[in-house]
Amino acid sequence: MDMRARPYRSVLYIPGSKDRALDKARNLPIDAIIFDLEDAVAIDEKPNARATLTAALAQGGYGQRMRIVRINGLDTEWGEADAKAANDMDCDAVLLPKVETTAQLDALAALTDKPLWAMMETPRGMLNAAAIAAHPKLAGMVMGTNDLAKELQCRFRADRLPLATSLGLCLLAAKAEGTIIVDGVYNAFKDEDGLRAECEQGRDMGFDGKTLIHPAQVEIANAAFAPSEDEVDLARRQIAAFEEAHAAGQGVAVVDGKIVENLHIVTAREILAKADAIASLNG
């Protein structure tokens, strides 16, 4: 699989304390998993969750799904032990909550050799997004829209207007560095239409995928963040038309009444690479 095209359509949070959910994820068609030791785990369960998760990851069975462990903040009583334990777990990355400065990432990097991911979910984190995205160990960003709404004291709206500046700042930061960025969760996990609309909005904005809290959300996110059949068909026709124009000594082709230049071909090839990567996951 072309790693730059690796899909992150569906990124499911799983409480690290819940054996049944940890097992169920082995058979869900998700692109990535966030094994959570932070907010999904009750305080009394924190040390047990670390042990439960270590055992689940050692047992394996998660296939090609990207395995990300979300630890507690390093300013909590559990954070350092989580980070050290995650370093020894069979996982692909460590996710730090409430990242506000590159110094926090430096502190985590001193405890683990794994690639780092950052939860973007505080006003100060938004203002420092560019520096956080540029950290040499950073491999991905996750919007934490629940914490963000709490800190901004904003209201939840279907159009997410109060979050637009924050989403945009983090997207700019991630895209400037070529870093993966996935959108926040949709809390009403039984509301399919609401989830679909929010996924479409996130896809339109340029997010790579959506974080999810329940298996019932997976299919909708996978569909929204995959290239559609129409997009794949158009990409193929654009490439063919452009190559023909190029062979004839022209720099521009026309497809469906719209110009196609070299830059559109870059996007077209990315769409085909993403579709191939998804097909190889399914195959």
Ligand X SMILES: CC(C)(COP(=O)(O)OP(=O)(O)OC[C@H]1O[C@@H](n2cnc3c(N)ncnc32)[C@H](O)[C@@H]1OP(=O)(O)O)[C@@H](O)C(=O)NCCC(=O)NCCSC(=O)C[C@H](O)C(=O)O
* φ, ψ at 67 (rounded to 5°): -110, 110
Compose the 76-115 pattern: x for residues touching ligand X by CB under 6 A, - for all others: ----------------------------------------
Between 64 and 187, whose beta carbon lies closer to ligand X?
187
Q: Which residues, numbered 122-151, are part of the site for ligand X (CB under 6 A)?
A: 144-147
Q: Estimate to the nearest angstrom the gap between the alpha carbon of 108 and the chain centroid.
A: 20
What's the min distance (Å) between Cβ of 3 and ligand X? 25
When CB distances are held under 5 to 8 angstroms depending on the partner's kind, the choice from Mg ion, ligand X, none that residue 13 binds is: ligand X
Contacts of 98 (CB under 8 A, 6+ apart): 73, 119, 121, 122, 125, 144, 147
Pairing mode of beta strands 180-183, 138-143: parallel
Regarding 121 and contact with ligand X (CB under 6 A), the answer is yes
Q: Which residues, numbered 24-43, are part of the site for ligand X (CB under 6 A)?
A: 24-25, 36, 39-40
Residue matched to tokens 């006003």: 123
* 147 marked among binding-site residues: yes
Classify 96 in phi/psi space as left (phi over 0), alpha (psi -120 to 50) or beta. beta
When CB distances are held under 5 to 8 angstroms depending on the partner's kind, the choice from Mg ion, ligand X, none that residue 41 binds is: none
Q: Which residue among 11, 21, 37, 68 contacts ligand X (CB under 6 A)?
A: 21
Regarding 184 and contact with ligand X (CB under 6 A), the answer is yes
Between 10 and 145, whose beta carbon lies closer to ligand X?
145
Contacts of 7 (CB under 8 A, 6+ apart): 31, 208, 209, 225, 226, 274, 277, 278, 281
What's the min distance (Å) between Cβ of 211 and ligand X? 6
* 70 marked among binding-site residues: yes
What's the min distance (Å) between Cβ of 94 and ligand X? 15
Contacts of 102 (CB under 8 A, 6+ apart): 128, 131, 132, 135
By the 10 Å C-beta count (0-12 exposed, 13-18 middle, 19+ buried), 238 is classed as: buried
Annotated binding site for Mg(2+): 121, 147
